Structures are given as C-alpha cells and as structure tokens.
Structure 1
Amino acid sequence: MVNIILASHGEFAEGILQSAQMIFGEQEQIVAATLMPNEGPDDLKAKLDEAVDSFGEDAEILFMVDLWGGTPFNQTNILYDHLGEKSAIVAGLNLPMLLEALGARMGMETAHELASHIISKEAIGIRVKPEELQPQEEVATETEDGQEQAVGSLEPGTVLGDGKIDYVLTRVDTRLLHGQVAINWNKATNPTRIIVVNDTISKDEMRKTLLQQAAPPGVRTNAIPIRKLVEINDDPRFGATRAMLLFDNPQDVLEAVEQGVDIKEVNLGSMAHATGKRMINKALSVDEEDVKTFKALEEHGVTFDVRILPGDSREDLDSLLRKEDLI
C-alpha cells in the first residue's frame, strides 16, 4: 500500500484528512503536515521529515499538496529529489482527489502508479450548478460485442449479456445514497447503475433529483418503485447492467424477492433507531417485524452481509440477534 503525506498552508491538510476519514473510515499510513502562520519553511520541513521517517525505509510515498509552487510543494520537492523513484507529488489537493487516492492505493504498489491514477480521475469530482454548465457525458450500456447502446433505444426482447442483471450489491441503508455508498461501495462493487428501490421516493421529484446529484460521476442513478424493479429484473435488455440496489428497509427487499427479483445476498449497512427498536450493533436497530423479515428472507435462500464499509469485518446476523435475545 502506498503511503500518503498531505501538506498545506494552515490547517487544511488536517481538516481534509478528517473529512475523508468521516467518509472512508480511519486510515493508516497517512499523515498531515501543516505550515502554520507563525512557522517557516524549516518548521514544515521538520514535520515532513518526521512523517517520512515514520513510514520506514524504502516506503513508497505520495505527497499531496495544496498549491503547485507554494512552500508545502517546495519542501516536499526537496524530499522528492532525495527519495527519487519511490515518491511522487500531486498538487491541487481536494476531497474528491483524496478519496480517489484512498480508494485506489490498496491495490497499487508505487507512488507513481497512484499519482497517475488519481490525476486521470481527479476532474470527475468537480460538479457545477446550474447543471447546464456541466459538460454532458453520454451514459451507455455495453453490448456483448463491445458496442455501446442505450438500453432505452433497444427493441423489446433484445438480449444483452446473459439477459440477467448482475446485482453487485443489495444494501439496506436508512440513508440510502450517501458518501459511504457513493465512494466506498461504488469503488468496491463498480456498478454501472445505482437503483434506489422505494415506492415513496419514486414519486418525489425533489428527492429523486437530490439522489441523482449525490451519485458518483459516470454512474446512472434511478429511484423506482418495487414493481418497476420486478419488471426490469425480467427485461433482457438490462442483461449487461451491473446494478447496486439500495433499500431503506428489509421489508421492501422481501417484497421484491417474493416477486421474483434474484437477490442472493443483502448487505445490512444502517437501520436507524426508532421507538420500539433495539440496537444490535452500532449501526443496526431492529424490532420483531425486522427479525421476522430476516427469517423470511433466509427461507428464500438470502444470506446477510453485516458491515458498514467494504473494509469492515463481516458480523454474523444471528449472533447479533441472539446477543439481544431477539431469536
């Protein structure tokens, strides 16, 4: 895994690291070094030296700095000259850039590789309102022979892929689409479409718009009723789709499964506390109706993945319920 040092004028580096960890969870092998108003270049250099030493010899280090040509850049550049091929510098630090780096560094071995990756992805974090100022990008579905074609333009009965939607994640989360989903789970599952399945939200134009604005760039996002999910589940034109399904309660998942939607596993990420519900871990609050729903889903062959983030350890649902005397 590539080590990261954030360097900035003022407390920006520390603040952006805190923001990233709120979304991505606690991170190892990343350090923030700040140049405060009462400090000079030598003070920052000492902090950077300490950070480099903390990673040990032969560490791959990516420096992410706020401004090209500023003091943080100049001081990291001195270290870059010393470290050579084992380091790289990226300027223009922002939150989407940092989240991209955190998501990608686990699978990369060199700082150069990580720097090249985030520079190619960095611009996608820039969005604008009014939306007509945003450059438009065509979102298409890839056919078996590599040709791209929008699903809506295909004749009914057209078969893409194997004719079945690939459900890369089915998640129960009271908050539906938010940072942990749009960043962490999106990177872990790589969907081509995010589908919020909720009868109420599908009729609320404002909430649908907010969901679309929260979606990761390049991933088509829809809010649909359960009946519509049942329809597209059987539509072979969606056979090349990798779908992330988001529900805000397990009862809707059960209804979809009972109507034939091919869901094999449900990620239980967050169920908000309410009157009559009991917390079974830090994120899940359930009542007797929920427990019955879990049992019914198990009878349909559905398994459960209990964790908030992809990097978390899975918890066993039955063990959590037994601990609270719910089964």
Structure 2
Amino acid sequence: MISALCDSRMSAGMWRGDTPLFYHPRKRYEESSNTMIPLIVACHGRFADELVKSAAMVYGEVGSVHAVTFMPGEGPDDLLRKYEEIVTAEGSPEAVLLLVDLFGGSPYNAAVRLASAHEGMDVLSGVNLPMLLELLDSRDENSTVPQLVESAYNASREGTKAFRTPLAAAPAAPAAEEAPVVDRRAGRPTSGHMEIPLLRIDNRLIHGQVASSWAKVVKCDAIFAIDDDVAKDPLRAKLLLQVAPAHLQAYVISVDKAIKVWHNPMYADRKILWLVSRPGDIVRLIEGGVDIKKVNVGGMTHREGCKLISQAVAIDADDLAAFKKLNEMGVKMTLQQLPTNAEEDVMPKLANIQF
C-alpha cells in the first residue's frame, strides 16, 4: 500500500529537491496525537537517524517517532537508558513498538529488557524503509501493537523484490519431532580437559561478531558465555542463547560452573569457545585451575570512571589491576575485534593509564 502511494507521488513529479510539494509537516504532526502508539527505531551506528529522516522525506514529518543511535563504546545499558528516556518523554504509555535492525543485537536485547516489563510493548527486528513507511501510513489512534507488528512484517516482505531473479516463498518449516533420549556419558573420555580455541573478553558475550566470525574461524563445537550476573538472569541468558549459531550448542554459566566443567573429563573431546565479560573473571578461572595462555580482548563498553585503551575497550581500575595480574601470570593478551584485524599487544596500551 505505502509503496504504491510513494510511486504515485514520485511519478506525478510532485517533488522539489528532497521535499514532496504536497507534503504538509505541520498537518502531519497535528494528525499524530498523544494517543498514537510511539515508535522507537534503534540500529547500530547512525542508521536509525537516517532511516527516520528518509521516511520523513517520503511520507512527511509525524510525531512519536524516535531514532536511537548505538555508537562504538556504548553498551546495552546505554540503549536501555535512551529507550526509557523516550518512554518517559512520551508520558510513559504502556503500548510502544520498538523497531531494531538485527535480531539478537544489542539494540534488540536492550529493547526486550524494556518490553519484558510492559505487557503492551513489543520488539520487531529487521527494520527497513518499507516497514517504517507502512507503520506511518497505517498507524492511528485506534491501532494496537499486534496490528502494527503484523502490518510492518507484511510490508517488509512485500517490499523485498528483485528486478530479474524470481524470489520463491520461504519453505514451510518441517514438523517438530521429539528428540530421542541419548546417554551423553556413553563413550565419553575419562581423563583430560576440553580444548579452548579462543578465550575472549567481550561484555556483550554472544553477539554478531562472535556468531558470524569468530565461531567459524576457530571451528568450535560449542560456546560458553561465562558471567555470574547473566547466569542468574533468565531473560538475559535467553537473549544470548537466541543469537548463538543454530549448529552450535551454547551455554550461559557462572565462573564457578566453568571451572567445574573444565575439570570434568567428560568434556575432554570438546572444542569450546569461551567468552567472559571482564579480565577479573579470567584471573578467577586461572586460580581455579583452568589452563589459559592467551586472551583475546574484543570489547568492553564504556562506563562511568572508565578510560579508553582502544575504540572498543574501556577499562576501570579493577580491570587494570586484573590485566596486570594476568600479565604476571604469563598470559598473552591481544586487542582484536575481528579475525581480519591485526593483533595488538594490550600491555603497551596500559603503560600510561592511571586511576
């Protein structure tokens, strides 16, 4: 519906520069009352800003549409704070629709944390221009969040077309079958330890870079997300497990649990990628007997009182002490966000850091 509307506007030549001649932003804004369900668009980088601007260029300015950026150095808590500020500014409505770019990304995870506390809120991933335009056109004071979700989803699918290549409809999912009961202890090793092809510090734990890049490079068969706080939070644990590659087993466990599993010979034939949130947890792992010789420092989001040692890594006094302790333990630590990036020694970056 919205694509046909835009096509008719453009084909009629009703444009001057970037603005449609018939477009009345004040009228559009007046039509969008406080009873309209607020839309929050959140994406990596500045994409949300530009997407909302593009929608305004095509459709016109409307109220209760908010763009949220997610920049390097920011974390899920920063996103959650931005969402909450918008909801408060809107008068704390119970019904809000959050549109994010990637399923399982930080904007999605922070949005779910907000929506889980409000029955009338929902989160839809895969936001694009056809989806947003459809919402602007179909949203009114009588709309419900489920109606908007369905409308946006249909518009996104219908707006995806190829000039030459025919696109088939997605095949129906096969019927679920009950998994057979398997004794996982049968034939398992009785001595030794698992292989850890990569131990990475990344306080986002499982996310796109890990799932799409590192897991493939190290050829692991499982992922451990090791964090005491997340292991006690069912919602955050569930969000992390949703992002894990479908062909890999993934677990969210505490530091103490990771130490116990390391010493369990049943896992000696496994190749497991380990993810932790902070260097202090690695000190605890080593003190618990885990054999760690090298650490990949991938991402530590900025917090109050932190200092940057790279664009993606911010540390506080406790982190600095832990890095120095790991260095004394003979652990090699390198900064490397992606497998294609060059490795950088962490210790020279810490030389002039003081708290």
1:215 equivalent in structure 2: 244
Alignment of 1:83-102 (within 5 A): none
Matched, 1:228 2:320: no
2:198 equivalent in structure 1: 169
CA distances 1:96-122 after superposition (whole Å, capped 9, x unpaired)? xxxxxxxxxxxxxxxxxxxxxxxxxxx
Matched, 1:191 2:220: yes
Q: What is the DSSP-based 3-state SS (H/G/I as helix, E as strand, rest coil) of the residue aligned with 2:282?
A: helix
CA 1:231 to 1:289, structure 2 compared with 1: closer, same or farther past 3 Å?
Answer: same
Would the aligned equivalents of 2:193 and 2:262 in 1 still touch at CA under 8 Å? Answer: yes
Matched, 1:257 2:349: no
Matched, 1:297 2:315: no
Q: Could you tell me which amino acid in structure 2 is paired with residue 260 of structure 1?
A: G
Q: Could you tell me which amino acid in structure 2 is paired with residue 295 of structure 1?
A: K
Would the aligned equivalents of 1:201 and 1:208 in 2 still touch at CA under 8 Å? Answer: yes
- The alpha carbon displacement at 1:305 in A equals 2.1
CA distances 1:64-91 after superposition (whole Å, capped 9, x unpaired)? xx87xx64349xxxxxxxxxxxxxxxx7
2:350 equivalent in structure 1: 321
Would the aligned equivalents of 1:268 and 1:307 in 2 still touch at CA under 8 Å? Answer: yes
CA 1:136 to 1:185, structure 2 compared with 1: closer, same or farther past 3 Å?
Answer: farther
Which of 159, 173, 189 is the aligned partner of 2:189? 159
Q: Distance in 2 between matches of 1:202 and 1:258?
A: 20
- Structure 2: gaps (5+ residues): 1-46, 48-100, 106-159
Matched, 1:72 2:102: no
CA 1:226 to 1:135, structure 2 compared with 1: closer, same or farther past 3 Å?
Answer: same
Would the aligned equivalents of 2:259 and 2:290 in 1 still touch at CA under 8 Å? Answer: yes
2:314 equivalent in structure 1: 285
Q: What is the DSSP-based 3-state SS (H/G/I as helix, E as strand, rest coil) of the residue aligned with 1:168?
A: coil
Higher fraction of strand: 1
CA 1:262 to 1:311, structure 2 compared with 1: closer, same or farther past 3 Å?
Answer: same
Which of 175, 178, 182 is the aligned partner of 2:207? 178
1:276 equivalent in structure 2: 305
Would the aligned equivalents of 1:226 and 1:252 in 2 still touch at CA under 8 Å? Answer: yes
Q: What is the DSSP-based 3-state SS (H/G/I as helix, E as strand, rest coil) of the residue aligned with 2:272?
A: strand
Q: Could you tell me which amino acid in structure 2 is paired with residue 263 of structure 1?
A: I
Matched, 1:238 2:267: yes
CA 1:325 to 1:201, structure 2 compared with 1: closer, same or farther past 3 Å?
Answer: closer
2:33 equivalent in structure 1: none
Q: Sequence identity, in percent?
A: 29
Instruction: Indicate the RMSD between aligned Cα atoms, in angstroms.
Output: 3.5
CA 1:258 to 1:310, structure 2 compared with 1: closer, same or farther past 3 Å?
Answer: same
- Structure 1: gaps (5+ residues): 1-14, 24-65, 75-90, 95-122, 141-148
Q: Distance in 2 between matches of 1:213 and 1:172?
A: 20
Matched, 1:309 2:338: yes
1:200 equivalent in structure 2: 229
Q: Distance in 2 between matches of 1:210 and 1:136?
A: 24
CA 1:299 to 1:203, structure 2 compared with 1: closer, same or farther past 3 Å?
Answer: same
CA distances 1:148-171 after superposition (whole Å, capped 9, x unpaired)? x764x348xx526x7211001111
Would the aligned equivalents of 1:139 and 1:218 in 2 still touch at CA under 8 Å? Answer: no
1:42 equivalent in structure 2: none
Larger Cα-atom Rg: 2
1:117 equivalent in structure 2: none
- The alpha carbon displacement at 1:137 in A equals 9.9
List structure 1 segments (4+ residues) > 3 angstroms apart after TM superposition.
Answer: 70-74, 133-140, 324-327
Q: What is the DSSP-based 3-state SS (H/G/I as helix, E as strand, rest coil) of the residue aligned with 1:251?
A: helix
